[in-house]
Amino acid sequence: MTGTPVLEALPQATTAPAATVRAPRTLRRRPGLRALTVLPWLVVAAAVVMALFPGLFAAYDPISGDAAAALSAPSGEHWFGTDATGRDVFSRVAYGAIHSLSAALIAVSVGLALGTTIGVTAGSVGGAVEDILMRIVDVLLAIPTLLLSLSVIILLGFGTTQAAVAVGAASVAAFGRLARSEVVRVRQSDFVEAAFGSGGRPVAVIVRHVLPNSLTAVLALAALHFGTAILAIATLGFLGYGAPPPTPEWGLMIAEGRNYVATAWWLTTLPGLVVVAVVLAANRISVTIGKPS
């Protein structure tokens, strides 16, 4: 008996559709991320160039004005309008950049130098010296920043430089506490203990090993305080403790325009937006610097 062989159906290989290759999210978002990274640097760079070469941006005298053009709205001739005496607001903003940025640089330098010295001394020496220095830092931290700045500026007198020193003095405690914590952390590292064990002198070990590994976070804080210092100096200028009139200082300009908010909004809004843009850009840069690589 012959039978027809039963053919078992072999399973046919099915070809799955090719998977769509998608770029990682980081790659797809790279243009936007690049813009967010580059834009703050461009804003700060523009502010620095404006401070160094205000004549490239300003077409009018920041001090004298045209009474016939008083309180003119923003236009092609006057980008930020004019104030009550006919002075071009954009020209005053351009010439005022040097006052605000230089004062912020002085403030950060004062806070960084004094605070780092206190923090490094406390973290390196320890003992009673550390206790005394850190109690002083605690007292400074307990005082509101604006109140401390006003107290210092009353002692020094009014002016842009005095305001910068006052803002810097108010930031000493923050730099001191951070520097001390970083020095203590690095001193407990194995390579520092090895340096001491091999006969290294304390000063040499601190300078060669502790400081280079402790100042990264402090420098990031300095970049963050640069934007904060601009805002604090503008606040003191707004309150009348900064540069005297008719100096084109950003905070003073906003204060001079507050009486015309209902009729000439550009006197306070546009200089205020410039301050906000520079402060936010500086803060963004500080975050970028502080990120671990």
Judge whether 22 lies within some domain. Answer: no
Judge whether 11 lies within some domain. Answer: no
Judge whether 2 lies within some domain. Answer: no
Q: What pLDDT does residue 164 have?
A: 93
Q: What is the extent of the structural domain holding 97?
A: 33-60+74-290
Q: What pLDDT does residue 1 have?
A: 47
CA distance 47 to 182: 32
Q: What pLDDT does residue 217 have?
A: 83
Q: What is the mean pLDDT of the chain?
A: 83
Judge whether 68 lies within some domain. Answer: no
> What is the tally of helices (H) and strands (E) in the chain?
12, 0
The segments of the chain whose pLDDT lies below 50 read 1-11, 13-21, 23-24, 26-27
Q: What pLDDT does residue 123 have?
A: 86
The enclosing domain of 114 has a CATH number of 1.10.3720.10
Q: What pLDDT does residue 9 have?
A: 46
- The structure's pTM equals 0.80
Judge whether 86 lies within some domain. Answer: yes
Total tally of structural domains belonging to the chain: 1
Judge whether 19 lies within some domain. Answer: no
Other beta carbons within 10 angstroms of residue 276's beta carbon come to: 12
pLDDT digits (tens, 9 = 90+) for 69-98: 889 999 989 999 999 999 999 999 999 999
Q: What pLDDT does residue 5 have?
A: 47
Judge whether 13 lies within some domain. Answer: no
8 phi, psi to nearest 5 deg: -80, 130
Q: ω before 246 within 30° of 0 (cis)?
A: yes
Judge whether 186 lies within some domain. Answer: yes
